[in-house]
Structure 1
Amino acid sequence: MISAEQNDFMTQVGAGTPAGTLLRRYWQPVALSEELKGPRPLKPVQLMGQHFVLFRDESGRLGLLDRDCPHRGADLAYGRLEDGGLRCAFHGWLFDATGQCRETPAEPVGSKLCTRIRQGAYPVVEKSGVIFAYLGEGEPPAFPEFDCFVAPDSHTFAFKGLWECNWLQALEVGMDPAHASFLHRFYEDEDTAESYGKQFRGASADSDLAITKVLREYDRPDIHVQAAPFGMRLTTLRKLTEAQTHVRVTNVVFPQAFVIPMSTEMTISQWHVPVDDHRCYWYAIFTSFTKPVDKQQMRAQRLETIELPDYISRKNKRNEYGYSAEEQATKTYTGMGMDINVHDQWACESMGSIQDRTREHLGTTDKGIVAYRRLLVQAIEAAQAGAPVPVRPDAAQASALTGPPSIDGVASVDAVDGYCEQADRARRLNCDWASARLKD
Structure 2
Amino acid sequence: MMSPEQNELMTRVGPGTKCGALMRHYWHPVALADELPAERPAKAVRVLGQDFVLFRDERGRHGLLDRDCPHRGADLAFGRLEHGGLRCLFHGWLFDVDGKCLETPAEPEGSVLCQRVRQRSYPVVVKNGIVFAYLGEGEAPAFPDFDCFLAPGTHAFAFKGLIECNWLQALEVGIDPAHASYLHRFYEDEDTGAAYGKQFRSASADSEIPMTRLLREFPRPKLDVEATDYGLRLFALRKLNEQHTHVRVTNLVFPYAFVIPMSAEMTITQWHVPIDDTSCYWYAIFTSFGKPVDHAAMREQRLKLYQLPDYRPLIGRHNDYGYNVAEQKSQTFTGMGFDINVHDQWAVESQGRIQDRTREHLGTTDKAIVAYRRMLLSAIGQVGNGERPIMWLDQQRAAAIRGPVAIDGMGPTEGWEAYWKDVDVRRRQASTWAADTLPPLVA
TM interval, shorter chain, is over 0.9
Superimposed CA distance per residue, residues 7-48 of structure 1 (whole angstroms, 9 cap, x where no aligned partner): 010000110101111011100000000000230000100001
Give the match for residue 253 of structure 2: 253
Give the match for residue 212 of structure 2: 212
* Secondary structure in structure 2 of the residue aligned to 1:235: strand
In the alignment, is residue 92 of structure 1 matched against residue 92 of structure 2? yes
Amino acid at match of 1:159: F
Q: Mapping of 1:22-61 within 5 angstroms?
A: 22-61=22-61
8 Å contact from structure 2 (residues 79, 88) kept in 1: yes
* 1:278 positional shift: 0.4
Give the match for residue 275 of structure 2: 275
Q: Mapping of 1:65-104 within 5 angstroms?
A: 65-104=65-104
* 1:149 positional shift: 0.1
| CA–CA separation in structure 1 for the residues paired with 2:241 and 2:117 | 69
Give the match for residue 390 of structure 1: 390
8 Å contact from structure 2 (residues 170, 348) kept in 1: yes
| CA–CA separation in structure 2 for the residues paired with 1:317 and 1:53 | 29
| CA–CA separation in structure 2 for the residues paired with 1:289 and 1:388 | 33
Q: Alpha carbon RMSD of aligned pairs, Å?
A: 1.0
Amino acid at match of 2:286: F
Give the match for residue 154 of structure 1: 154
* 1:205 positional shift: 0.5
8 Å contact from structure 2 (residues 175, 258) kept in 1: no
| CA–CA separation in structure 2 for the residues paired with 1:202 and 1:52 | 40
Give the match for residue 320 of structure 1: 320
| CA–CA separation in structure 1 for the residues paired with 2:380 and 2:255 | 10
TM-score, scaled to structure 1: 0.99
| CA–CA separation in structure 2 for the residues paired with 1:88 and 1:356 | 42
Give the match for residue 241 of structure 1: 241
- Tell me which stretches of 4 or more aligned residues in structure 1 moved more than 3 Å: 436-440
Paired residue total: 440
8 Å contact from structure 2 (residues 56, 62) kept in 1: yes
* 1:240 positional shift: 0.7
* Secondary structure in structure 1 of the residue aligned to 2:320: helix
Q: CA, structure 1 residues 334+143, in 2 after alignment: closer, same or farther (shift >3 Å)?
A: same
Q: Which moved more, 1:381-390 or 1:223-232?
A: 381-390
* 1:109 positional shift: 1.3
* 1:404 positional shift: 1.1
* 1:438 positional shift: 4.5
In the alignment, is residue 9 of structure 1 matched against residue 22 of structure 2? no
Give the match for residue 289 of structure 2: 289
Superimposed CA distance per residue, residues 150-205 of structure 1 (whole angstroms, 9 cap, x where no aligned partner): 10000000000000000000000111100000000000110000000000000011
| CA–CA separation in structure 1 for the residues paired with 2:292 and 2:267 | 13
In the alignment, is residue 167 of structure 1 matched against residue 173 of structure 2? no
Amino acid at match of 1:292: P
* 1:363 positional shift: 0.3
In the alignment, is residue 425 of structure 1 matched against residue 432 of structure 2? no
8 Å contact from structure 2 (residues 411, 420) kept in 1: no
Give the match for residue 262 of structure 1: 262
* 1:435 positional shift: 1.1
Give the match for residue 189 of structure 1: 189
* 1:436 positional shift: 3.9
* 1:385 positional shift: 1.4
| CA–CA separation in structure 2 for the residues paired with 1:283 and 1:418 | 31
Superimposed CA distance per residue, residues 48-99 of structure 1 (whole angstroms, 9 cap, x where no aligned partner): 1100000000000000000000000000011000010000010000000011
| CA–CA separation in structure 1 for the residues paired with 2:415 and 2:227 | 21
Give the match for residue 353 of structure 2: 353
| CA–CA separation in structure 2 for the residues paired with 1:437 and 1:203 | 25
* Secondary structure in structure 1 of the residue aligned to 2:149: helix
Give the match for residue 139 of structure 1: 139
Amino acid at match of 1:21: A
Amino acid at match of 1:314: L
| CA–CA separation in structure 2 for the residues paired with 1:420 and 1:396 | 27
8 Å contact from structure 2 (residues 62, 97) kept in 1: yes
In the alignment, is residue 179 of structure 1 matched against residue 179 of structure 2? yes
* Secondary structure in structure 2 of the residue aligned to 1:435: coil
8 Å contact from structure 2 (residues 403, 438) kept in 1: no
* Secondary structure in structure 2 of the residue aligned to 1:351: coil
Unpaired runs of 5+ residues, structure 2, are none
8 Å contact from structure 2 (residues 52, 67) kept in 1: yes
* Secondary structure in structure 1 of the residue aligned to 2:435: helix
Give the match for residue 203 of structure 2: 203
* Secondary structure in structure 2 of the residue aligned to 1:8: helix
* 1:241 positional shift: 1.0
8 Å contact from structure 2 (residues 20, 48) kept in 1: yes
| CA–CA separation in structure 2 for the residues paired with 1:207 and 1:389 | 40
Give the match for residue 411 of structure 1: 411
Unpaired runs of 5+ residues, structure 1, are none
Amino acid at match of 1:330: S
Give the match for residue 224 of structure 1: 224
Q: CA, structure 1 residues 438+7, in 2 after alignment: closer, same or farther (shift >3 Å)?
A: closer
Q: Which moved more, 1:15-24 or 1:364-373?
A: 15-24
| CA–CA separation in structure 1 for the residues paired with 2:275 and 2:97 | 22
Give the match for residue 311 of structure 1: 311
| CA–CA separation in structure 2 for the residues paired with 1:287 and 1:342 | 22
* Secondary structure in structure 1 of the residue aligned to 2:415: helix
Amino acid at match of 2:49: G
TM-score, scaled to structure 2: 0.98
* 1:437 positional shift: 3.8
| CA–CA separation in structure 2 for the residues paired with 1:2 and 1:46 | 29
Amino acid at match of 1:245: T
* Secondary structure in structure 2 of the residue aligned to 1:110: coil
* Secondary structure in structure 2 of the residue aligned to 1:71: coil
Q: Which moved more, 1:410-419 or 1:366-375?
A: 410-419
